[in-house]
Amino acid sequence: MPFSKSVTEAENLAALPDTIKQLTAQFVADNLPADASGQAHRVCARFALIAAAGELATYYGITGWQPGEAERAAVTCFKAWLEQRGGAGNQERAAILGSVKAFFETHGDARFTDFSAPDNSRTINRAGFRKTDNGAMRFYVLPESFKNEVCAGFDMRTVARVLIEAGWLEPDSEGKSSVRECLPDIGRTRCYKFTSAMWDA
């Protein structure tokens, strides 16, 4: 390929890696928003590499473009990607929080047994328990419901991490995402303890 041949035969081949690093670093510095998520940073870095390759190809007379055209094209593509996804924030994080909140909005009353409910009360298809603590509602989600329903469509570990970071899920003293609680009708068992913070979001 002409590009590979030009690069490998370049007189300053030893300096090429540093040149590429400088070009990509400058691209990221110029185009990545300050509040960008890790995903946006990774995508920007890929476009930066494309821009660097295009500018080098132009330098070696392969593209027929003017200097700067490859970079401008990469910038246009990156900005289009940002616009399509709704900004530079973490799209997956927003999707997870939205999905989890929707689950509790849909099932918070019907599928969570109140701690103070009579012993003979029944909850059909129970997902866990709920408890009012100093005026704030807490939910205690059973493991299978958390895995199969709360995390539906997402990686379970990623969901747990996002929820803990958001303050929605209370980890145990060792940092584990589930805690040991004494639940009505069940006794002491592991579950996922949700704080009232999700209602403030």
Give yes or no for residue 55 having a pLDDT over 60.
yes
User: Looking at residue 179, what is its pLDDT?
Assistant: 97
Q: What is the pTM of this model?
A: 0.59
Q: What is the CA radius of gyration of the chain?
A: 26
* DSSP letter (8 states) at residue 199: G
Q: Which stretch of 89-93, 99-103, 109-113, 166-170 has the lowest confidence by average pLDDT? A: 89-93
3-state SS, residue 130: strand
Contact 87, 32 (CB under 8 A): no
Residue 126 has which token pair?
């129970």
Ramachandran angles phi, psi of 171, nearest 5°: -80, 170
Give 155-164 pLDDT, tens digit per residue. Answer: 999 999 999 9
Helices (H), the chain: 2-8, 16-31, 38-59, 69-85, 91-107, 143-145, 156-166
d(CA 107, CA 27): 47
Length of the chain: 201
Give 58-71 pLDDT, tens digit per residue. Answer: 988 888 999 999 99
End-to-end CA distance of the chain: 53
